[in-house]
Structure 1
Amino acid sequence: MDLIDRIKEISARIPKQNAHIQTEEATKNAFVMPFISALGYDVFNPLEVVPEYTADIGQKKGEKVDYAIKKDDKIIILIECKWSGAALDVSHMSQLHRYFHVTEARFAILTNGINYQFYSDIDEPNKMDSKPFFEFNMLDFDDHQINELKKFAKSTFSLDDILNTASTLKYTRAIKKILEEELHAPSEPFVRLFASQSYDGRITQQVMEQFTVIVKNAINQFINERLNERLKSALVANNADAQPAQQQNTASAETSDVVTTQEEIDAYNIVKAILREIIDVKRVHIRDAKSYCAILLDDNNRKPICRLHLDYKQKYLTLFENKNEMRVDIDSIDDIFKHADRLKAVIKEYGG
């Protein structure tokens, strides 16, 4: 079984088990040990995984870090665990900082069994950085992150390979966080950058206030337009691939009067955003028809998630429960978020 399959298997168990995890030890047993095992390390072999690793640090005697992973009889990774319900913060890093300084490990992981924060000594040799260079969330990951995680697997572990990309990952992550914050609440320097290049007059406080709103809306529109362009391209490609060559002319004639509107695409993106928490959104497909726009699981007509009826004076959704259809009126596509639990329940009915 490949790493991604092992990780997906653990990920699928977390929502079902997490409510029953009340302690740090339970978190280790249910989530962390399977994660270490997925990377190829034998959690029951003390030559590879040392639980409750102890080292004397100055005046502190007998302090322990939860796991030390070894390769070729050298410690390569330290792992400090917290309860799955705990939010990881600076207060949880003190032991890792101390152990990092006195061991040969170049990597340390702080985790609550769901979120894994990877640290190294990029900023100052032999001193653990205050910020992680890589973060992996068991409930929200993509192919790129899986590829980065593979570098820590027993079979592919290479200190040089990881260190060569660690600084890039760290600063890329920091820049992405800055962009996220700027998109949510643009700072004055960020707004001034755009205002100075697009406004000819004197930039007063009133102009800055006006541009703060304009910049935020413009960037969000730009992102949505790019996403929708990619989505339209993907839909065209999927439709072409799904139809045998000899049927394409007929199919084109039959669907020439079916137009997937921008509102339907935006609604489709909302459904995907809701379902991202429980499934891989690549399994969520859109299929338009004359009277409604269907959103399907695995592009299977027998697995409808919902139907969008947006070309009517009164917009509405068709939701499914125990294979029964239910009409739900909505004022705008934003109201789809109100029915998130019902959409997730449909996925569970299909077995996730």
Structure 2
Amino acid sequence: MTFNGKSIQSNVFDYSSLSQEKRQFVQEKTDEIKNLIRRTAQNVIDIGQKLLEVKEQVGHGYFLNWLKTEFNWSVSTATKMMQASEKFKNVNFTNLNFSPSALYLLAAPSVDDEIREEALVLAESGTKINYSLARNLIRHYKYTTNSLTQKDFILDLKKSDDNDNRVLAQTLKQTFVDAKSISIEETCFSSNSNIIVPMVDFDFFNHYLFREWLRASREKVFLSLILGNLANLHFYNNKLPYISRHESGQLLISILNKTLKRSTDLYTFYDEEKFLLLLSNTPLDGALQIAKTVKKQFEMRQSQISSEHKSLIDTCTLNLIVCSLVPSNDLSVNFLLSVLEQELINIQIQGEESISIKQF
């Protein structure tokens, strides 16, 4: 529907039925709303407030007729704007990159206040809050509070039309998974148990990590990260061309999928051979145990490959850095990741193969 700010002349609102005082008030609000008709998030809030004021003055029956004749708006359209005004009445959206569609979604009565607060924190940090991100914030909250099962969570996301925010429903551009040979169902579900694997795309991981960082900081609980890389991957694949990058990646993916048991534990691949694990509510000892398990399983499989190909001197090795902390305002997640990245580079330069612990 296109809103051009013009009255619907075929059915003119009867202002004569109102008192002079109310008629003047409603006509002023009508003009003000039409001036705001190009809706930004702040305009939505302003329009919603004026709609609430008019509704209070003229009553429900007159209000519906006025909406139709002056703006050709449905009740649901007006309700969305009024809800947005009520839920975000103390927020100034002038300098926030917040789409109206996201505002409507987050203002719904079924959405928890905590989700709205997190969306505002993201917006204040410079993140664009569009409909897809708002929808995912809501899904994340339901998922992590156990009001949405893991399977339903992923199946719901698979229906999304926004490729940047699909989770576990497609392979990554920079992962080891061969998108041509692995279907969405094979990537997301175990063929035997129909259990969803914890691999997510990089954009989703960033949003999820930021949300978990805020939650852990607020609740004063541990959050752990494991950064890893497959060293000598290119050399390894060049020496054994029939052991493709796809197969090498699938080896690690298989181990990670079997090791990570909790629905809130996720990982992502980036820069081809690097990966990052997020372990919510996990102290150092728990994260270290997971790192040791992954490395042990990987080395066992690599040992089997080496024994089958004795001419191979250097094999693909796995380096891991484990970090566990209670997030605080004194440390940003971006700074933490940059420190871990540098630590990983140092390990590669030294030619070590290890599990390192980074403490803050």
For CA contacts below 8 A with separation 6 or more, give which structure has more relative contact order: 2
TM over 0.5: no
Structure with the bigger percentage of strand:
1
Structure-2-length-normalised TM-score: 0.27
Q: Kindly name which structure, 1 or 2, has the bigger radius of gyration based on alpha carbons.
A: 2
Structure with the bigger percentage of helix:
2
